[in-house]
């Protein structure tokens, strides 16, 4: 049976080597923040319980206050609300906060939504947070500002958990998966239309996001990399974190939520068949089982797995300032 791929980051070797900078994401910059919730991607609503169990087991401490950065529609906050006394949920997009408040209504009285960026948390008392989470958002943070900000706001020993998912693969259909990858990232297809550097950081499974040496401890990463050639459910590297069975029509709808797709359409609009139409035609050509369904191909169901990552760490600000006296 595949197991979680855990390891402790060798922080000493990485100290100071990576300080990536990027603007905080805007609405529509990825699937989570589209103005209408996408019909099919793995969201917090469909997040397998092992992911939440993993981060809560790692936290294993006081559960008074949690901060959800880049909360989007508020799905993660609602999922974690039973585990914390109070939850602060922030997003830089006013429309996302409005939708989150509407979706949560009075059913989740312990969640407070607020428009704010991850880089400016002045409204939160220093040392008052027990845990900070960010689902499908950390690849847009300016980490040169976020790390010290979280170091101040988290209590000593408080935890953070950043997780994200990249591209889905079609389990048992590697030929279609290769075409899917080619059209999503090829130089002459949607590749140049992704917003960067966020997408690159996400595709690299957050390996560029490194907690500063000495200021954070107990750093762990959990990864699942399905690969393009994998055949069979759960045959990738690590433990499956995000998977879902979808109709091909749902996958098609999912593709049309991609920022790269919308950017492609903005530049190449007016065509009878767009890039998504061509991509699915090509996939049908290489998968006889799909093509055999004829006009009903959109109803054919396939198992999907997403390359995924969880990054976890504990606040060690006091430890960094400790001076040994001989």
Summary mean pLDDT of the chain: 84
Tokens of 44: 């917090």
For 218-274, the pLDDT digits (tens) are 999 999 988 766 566 667 788 888 889 999 999 999 999 999 999 999 999 878 889
Tokens of 164: 């994200």
Share of the chain above pLDDT 70, in %: 80
- Supply angle C-alpha 109, 164, 239, rounded to 5: 110
**The pLDDT of residue 234:** 62
Residue 222 backbone zone (phi > 0: left; psi -120 to 50: alpha; other: beta):
beta
**The pLDDT of residue 241:** 86
**The pLDDT of residue 325:** 38
**The pLDDT of residue 19:** 26
Q: Is the dihedral of CA 199, 203, 208, 210 positive or negative?
A: positive
Q: What's the pTM?
A: 0.80
For 183-215, the pLDDT digits (tens) are 999 999 999 999 999 999 999 999 999 999 999
**The pLDDT of residue 317:** 85
**The pLDDT of residue 182:** 97
Section 284-297 average pLDDT: 98
Q: By three-state DSSP, how is residue 136 classified?
A: coil
H or E stretch covering 203: helix 198-203
pLDDT at 39 over 60: no
Report yes or no: 311 and 133 within 8 Å, Cβ to Cβ.
Answer: no
Q: Which domains does the chain have, with CATH numbers?
A: 5-168+195-243+305-321 (3.40.50.150)
pLDDT at 23 over 50: no
**The pLDDT of residue 240:** 84
Q: How many CB atoms lie within 10 A of CB 225?
A: 16
Residue holding tokens 């998966």?
177
**Highest-confidence segment of 8-12, 128-132, 193-197, 316-320:** 128-132
pLDDT band at residue 95 under the 50/70/90 scheme: very high
pLDDT at 58 over 80: yes
pLDDT at 36 over 60: no
**How distant is the alpha carbon of residue 45 from its chain centre?**
13
pLDDT band at residue 106 under the 50/70/90 scheme: confident
pLDDT band at residue 104 under the 50/70/90 scheme: confident
Section 151-161 average pLDDT: 98
The Cα–Cα gap between 119 and 105 comes to 27
DSSP E strands in the chain: the ranges are 5-8, 65-69, 86-91, 111-115, 129-135, 154-170, 216-225, 237-238, 242-247, 301-315
């Amino acid at each position: 049976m595949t197991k979680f791929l855990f390891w402790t980051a060798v922080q000493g070797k990485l100290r100071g080597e990576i300080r990536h900078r990027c603007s905080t994401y805007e609405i529509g910059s990825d699937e989570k923040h589209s103005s209408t919730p996408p019909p099919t991607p793995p969201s917090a609503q469909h997040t397998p319980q092992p992911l939440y169990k993993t981060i809560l087991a790692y936290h294993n401490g006081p559960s008074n206050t949690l901060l959800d950065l880049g909360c989007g529609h508020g799905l993660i906050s609602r999922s974690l609300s039973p585990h914390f006394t109070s939850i602060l949920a922030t997003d830089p997009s006013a429309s996302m906060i409005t939708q989150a408040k509407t979706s949560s209504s009075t059913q989740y009285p312990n969640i407070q939504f607020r428009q704010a960026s991850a880089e400016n948390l002045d409204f939160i008392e220093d040392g008052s947070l027990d845990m900070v989470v960010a689902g499908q958002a950390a690849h847009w943070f300016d980490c040169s500002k976020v790390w010290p900000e979280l170091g101040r706001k988290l209590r000593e020993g408080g935890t953070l958990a950043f997780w994200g998912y990249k591209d889905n693969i079609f389990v048992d259909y590697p030929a279609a998966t290769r075409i899917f990858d080619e059209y999503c990232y090829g130089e002459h297809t949607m590749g140049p239309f992704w917003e960067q550097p966020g997408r690159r950081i996400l595709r690299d499974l957050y390996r560029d996001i490194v907690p500063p040496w000495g200021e954070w401890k107990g750093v762990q990463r959990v990864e699942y990399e399905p690969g393009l050639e994998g055949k069979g459910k759960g045959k990738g590297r690590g433990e499956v974190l995000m998977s879902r069975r979808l109709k091909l029509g749902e996958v098609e709808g999912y593709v049309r939520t991609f920022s790269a797709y919308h950017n492609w359409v903005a530049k190449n609009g007016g065509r009878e068949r767009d890039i998504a139409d061509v991509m699915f035609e090509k996939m049908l050509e290489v998968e006889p089982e799909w093509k055999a369904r004829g006009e009903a191909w959109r109803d054919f169901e396939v198992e999907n797995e997403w390359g995924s990552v969880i990054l976890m760490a504990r606040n060690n600000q006091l430890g960094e300032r400790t001076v040994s006296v001989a």
